[in-house]
Structure 1
Amino acid sequence: MARTAWVDKEQCIGCELCVNTCPGVFRLDADGKSECYDSTGDSEGNIQTAIDMCPVSCIQWKG
């Protein structure tokens, strides 16, 4: 089973770095917080880059 990216919305500040890095994986929800809507929307390497760029470290791998 592939890993899935997960966003802790309590910590997310809505900076959009992950959305801009991997728009096929992340988007902002109605509250302006990031969410992972498709962990297969980009390569694991690009998703890891988005995880590493997050200024509040609110994105993690699950699975």
Structure 2
Amino acid sequence: MAKVVIIDRDECTSCGQCADDLPDVFAMDDDDIAIVVEGHSGSEDDIQEEIDACPGECILWKD
């Protein structure tokens, strides 16, 4: 089963790093909060790198 990535909106710092680095996986909404692009095809390895790099530590794998 594929992992599911989520954003903790309360922890997002609105820096946009994830959307800049992986625009096929992450975008910024109208409130400048990161969102996960529906139906993205990002690899788990690329997403994990972004999780590790996120300054707000708001990108998470859903259990």
Given the two structures, how large is their TM-score scaled by the length of structure 1? Answer: 0.88
Between the aligned partners of 1:29 and 1:21, the Cα distance in structure 2 is 16
The match for 1:6 is 6
**Between 16-25 and 36-45, the greater mean CA deviation after superposition:** 36-45
* 8 A contact 1:21–1:46 mirrored in 2: no
Runs of at least 4 residues of structure 1 off by over 3 A? none
Give, as a single letter, the amino acid of the residue that structure 1 aligns with 2:28: L
Between the aligned partners of 1:20 and 1:48, the Cα distance in structure 2 is 15
Q: Would you say how many aligned residue pairs link Structure 1 and Structure 2? A: 63
Between the aligned partners of 1:61 and 1:37, the Cα distance in structure 2 is 15
RMSD after superposition: 1.4
Measured after TM superposition, the shift of residue 41 of structure 1 is 2.3
In structure 1, list runs of 5 or more residues that go unmatched.
Answer: none
Measured after TM superposition, the shift of residue 39 of structure 1 is 6.2
The match for 1:35 is 35
